[in-house]
Amino acid sequence: MDAEDEPRQLEQLRLEIADLRASRRRIVVAHDADRRDIERDFHAGVQQRLVGLAANLQLAEGSLETYPAATKALLMEMGGELGRTIQHARDIASRIYAPMLETGGLVPALRMAAAEANVRTRIDMPSGTAVESALASMVYMCCLDVFERAAPGASVTVILRTDDATTTFEMVVEGGGIDGASLPARDRVEALGGRLSFGTDAEGRTRIVGSVRA
C-alpha cells in the first residue's frame, strides 16, 4: 500500500463501517416498527373481531328457540364477519412471511400481493428461474414496500434477472406516489450484502434497482 494512499483508504474503510452500522440500526428500528404495527393490527383488528363474534355467538345461542328468524340472520352476518376476519389474519401473516413464496414461488406471491394492494403490475422473470429462499423473501418484501406505498392508479413493473453470481431486480413505478429514499428496501438489500439505487426519469417514473451477489 502506498503510504500516501493509506490515510485515504483508512478513512474510506471507516466510512463504510459507519454506513454498515447505520444500516443495521435502521434495520432493527424498521423491524421493531413492523412488529408494533403487526401487534396493533392484530389487537385492533383480528382480536376485536373475534371478541365480537364470541359475544354474538352467545346471543345467538340464547335466542335460537325464541327468535329463530332473527338468529338465522345474525348467524349469516357472523359468517360474513368471520370471512373478513380470516382475510385480515391472512393479510397480517403475509407481512411476516408470504406462504405463497414456498407453495407457489416468487411470481405468484408478487401477483397476489399486488392484487391485494390494488396495484396494476407486470412481472418480467424468465420461467424456470430459481431464486434462493432468502433472496426471494427480500425481493418480495421490497416489492411489497412499493405496492403498499404506490398512489391509487399507479402501475409497477418488476424485472428480475439472475446469473451464476448476481441476482438483479428492478421496480419501475408509473403514476407517482413513491419516494425511493423513504423505502426500507435499501436496508433489506444491504442486509444481504447487496446494493440498491433509485431515481426518477424524465417521464416521472421511479426506478428502483437492487443487486445481490451470491
* pLDDT tens column, 48-70: 888 888 888 888 888 888 888 88
Cβ-count burial of 214 within 10 angstroms (0-12 exposed, 13-18 middle, 19+ buried)? exposed
**What pLDDT is stored for residue 175 in this prediction?**
81
* pLDDT tens column, 86-133: 877 777 766 666 677 777 788 888 998 888 888 899 999 887 777 888
**Comparing C-alpha atoms, which of 110, 145, 146 is closest to residue 125?**
110
Residue 105 neighbours by CB under 8 Å, 6+ apart: 136
Q: SS3 letters for 100-143?
A: HHHHCCHHHHHHHHHHHCCCEEEEECCCCCCCCHHHHHHHHHHH
Longest dimension (CA), the chain: 94
Task: Note the pTM of the prediction, 2 decimals.
Answer: 0.63
Q: What are phi and psi of 4, to 5 degrees?
A: -75, -25
Instruction: State the Cα–Cα distance between residues 142 and 122, nearest whole angstrom.
Output: 15
C-alpha cell at 52: 365480537
Three-class secondary structure of residue 47 per DSSP: helix
> Are the CB atoms for 126 and 158 separated by under 8 Å?
no
Q: Is residue 134 pLDDT above 90, yes or no?
A: no
Strand 155-162 to 166-174 pairing: antiparallel
H or E stretch including 71?
A: helix 68-96
Q: Is residue 28 pLDDT above 60, yes or no?
A: no
**Comparing C-alpha atoms, which of 92, 91, 109 is closest to residue 100?**
109
Position 157 confidence tier, pLDDT thresholds 50, 70, 90: very high
**What pLDDT is stored for residue 24 in this prediction?**
64
* pLDDT tens column, 9-20: 777 777 777 776
Least confident of 23-27, 112-116, 190-194, 198-202: 23-27
Partners of 213 in beta bridges: 166
Give the CA count within 13 Å in the CB-facing half-sphere of 52. Answer: 17
How far, in whole angstroms, is CA 111 from its chain's centroid? 12
Partners of 158 in beta bridges: 123, 171
**What pLDDT is stored for residue 156 in this prediction?**
93
**Comparing C-alpha atoms, which of 209, 169, 185, 168 is closest to residue 23?**
185
